[in-house]
């Protein structure tokens, strides 16, 4: 019978800090100006500054958040 692997963390957190953002900071971090009217390039990749700009987050479940 195989034993299940054990979890052995390489470090322990000693503290966590949280902070509140001002309305201006939230706006600066959450707003992206769309400057490119062309959504995709010739290979169907999203254009920077377009509707599917990767800075806006993933559009498919398998995509990574940048």
- The three-state (H, E, C) secondary structure of 1-66, written as one string: CCCCCCCCCCCCCCCCCCCCCCHHHHHHHHCCCCCCCCCECCCCCECCCCCCCHHHCCCCCCCCCC
User: What is the structure's pLDDT at 4?
Assistant: 65
CA 20 to chain centre: 20
Assign 66 a pLDDT band (cuts: 50, 70, 90): confident
**pLDDT of residue 37 exceeding 80:** yes
* pTM for this prediction: 0.54
């Amino acid at each position: 019978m195989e034993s299940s692997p054990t979890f052995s963390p390489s470090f322990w957190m000693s503290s966590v800090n949280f902070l509140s953002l001002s309305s201006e900071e939230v706006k600066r971090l959450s707003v992206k100006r769309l400057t490119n009217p062309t959504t995709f390039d010739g290979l169907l990749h999203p254009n920077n500054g377009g509707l599917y700009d990767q800075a806006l987050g993933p559009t498919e479940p398998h995509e990574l958040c940048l």
